[in-house]
Structure 1
Amino acid sequence: MKILAIADEESKYLWDFFEKSKLEGIDLIISCGDLDPRYLSFLATFTSAPVLYVHGNHDDKYERIPPDGCICIDDTIYVHEGVRILGLGGSMRYKPGIYQFTEREMRRRIFKLFPKLLWRRGFDILVTHAPAYQLNDGRDLPHQGFKAFLKLMEKYRPKYFLHGHVHMSYGRKHKRYDKYQDTHVINAYERFVFDFDAEHPGDWV
């Protein structure tokens, strides 16, 4: 399964210089947040692949302009061709905001998902906006990751963890790829394509 992961900055390659052939072979598009909803709608128009998304901390505009033809997976488990995808959008709370959470609030969201996690017997891909704590995050509060995501990976051992929020253009040396125990960690900033079924996912980095 070929997956296009996107986050934080609209790709000129896909939007400004779009050709339908650029989405050929893509089976699933996953947005990790902070993208123009019209960008997601645009991509959904030119592909038969589902376009899934979680909210970023700047996505309050989605209340007014929802991305047409796309599926919000916040606080649920979406299954595509047998692959279980868990969505938990938002960032650490650093000011009043609809998609910002304290560590305790994020743990509460995860606790409410336990019936679904039990029913689905875990998940294969964790999709968030914020990174996990001290795993490619920032030390400032707005870009600090959640400890709760580490606990999720430790308990359920998903194959992938996709996040955004920490832009690779910030000047810090944020990694595109990392690994935490059994989980391959991908920063979806702008765009990144990977094969879910790859035997050695690190090979395409």
Structure 2
Amino acid sequence: MKILLVADKENDFIWDHFDAERFKGIELIISCGDLQPSYLSFLVTMINVPLFYVHGNHDTIYTHHPPEGCDSIEDRIVTFKGYRFLGLGGTMKYSGRPHQYTEREMEKRIRKLKRQIRKHNGFDILVTHAPAFGIGDGKDLCHTGFKSFLTLMDEYSPKYMFHGHMHLNYGRIERIQQYKNTTIINCYDHYIIDI
């Protein structure tokens, strides 16, 4: 299955000069947050496939203007073409605004999902906005990853983790990293993967 991954930056070339050929064969779009709702609605309309999203720390507008034609997978598991996607948006709490969580609050969200995870016999892909602690995250509180994501990967060994938040132009940040059995992909701007 070919997936278009997007996060954090609207790509002007895609938005202003859309070329359907570049996205031929795409079956799903995943947004890892911090994108304008109109951009996501544009993508889902032009590519004409489902779009799943989680919230980034700047997605407060989604409360009143959610992206049309797109599905939030926040705090739930969604199955698509045999793959189980678990969505956990937001970042480390640094200013008290929506979609920010302490480590303890993120652990609580995950505990609430345990029954769903058992019911689905685990999950294949973890979709987040923030990275996991120590794997492509930053040193400041805002960009620190969650340790609870490491625990989730240790316990369930998903094949993939898709995240945003860490812009690739921040410095020495790699797009793809490996953590045990999980391939972690930073979805900044856009990236196409065939799983």
- Check whether TM > 0.5: yes
TM-superposed deviation, 1:96: 1.4
Amino acid of the residue matched to residue 141 of structure 1? L
Provide the rounded CA distance (Å) in 1 between the counterparts of 2:22 and 2:115. Answer: 39
Q: Which residue of 2 aligns with 1:193?
A: 192
Provide the rounded CA distance (Å) in 2 between the counterparts of 1:193 and 1:147. Answer: 27
Amino acid of the residue matched to residue 49 of structure 1? V
TM-superposed deviation, 1:108: 0.2
Runs of 4+ in 1 over 4 A off after TM superposition: none
Q: Which runs of 5+ in 1 are unaligned?
A: 197-205
Identity across the alignment (%): 52
Amino acid of the residue matched to residue 45 of structure 1? T
Amino acid of the residue matched to residue 194 of structure 1? I
Deviates more, 1:32-41 or 1:9-18: 9-18
Q: Which residue of 2 aligns with 1:178?
A: 177
Q: Which residue of 1 aligns with 2:73?
A: 73
TM-superposed deviation, 1:75: 0.2
Provide the rounded CA distance (Å) in 2 between the counterparts of 1:159 and 1:175. Answer: 18
Q: Which residue of 1 aligns with 2:130?
A: 130
Provide the rounded CA distance (Å) in 2 between the counterparts of 1:11 and 1:26. Answer: 17
Provide the rounded CA distance (Å) in 1 between the counterparts of 2:127 and 2:105. Answer: 17
Provide the rounded CA distance (Å) in 2 between the counterparts of 1:31 and 1:14. Answer: 15
Provide the rounded CA distance (Å) in 2 between the counterparts of 1:35 and 1:169. Answer: 17
* Contact 1:128–1:163 under 8 Å retained in 2: yes
* Contact 1:133–1:144 under 8 Å retained in 2: yes
RMSD: 0.8
Summarize deviations over 1:55-104 as a string: whole Å, max 9, x none: 00000011121100000000000100110000000000001111000000
SS of the aligned residue for 1:27 comes to: strand
Q: Which residue of 1 aligns with 2:62?
A: 62
* Contact 1:126–1:160 under 8 Å retained in 2: yes
Deviates more, 1:8-17 or 1:71-80: 8-17
Q: How does 1:20-169 map to 2 (within 5 A)?
A: 20-169=20-169
* Contact 1:14–1:22 under 8 Å retained in 2: no
- Number of aligned residue pairs: 195
TM-superposed deviation, 1:16: 1.6
Provide the rounded CA distance (Å) in 2 between the counterparts of 1:191 and 1:46. Answer: 15
Q: Which runs of 5+ in 2 are unaligned?
A: none
Provide the rounded CA distance (Å) in 1 between the counterparts of 2:66 and 2:157. Answer: 32
SS of the aligned residue for 2:13 comes to: coil
* Contact 1:125–1:162 under 8 Å retained in 2: yes
TM-superposed deviation, 1:21: 2.5
TM-superposed deviation, 1:22: 2.5
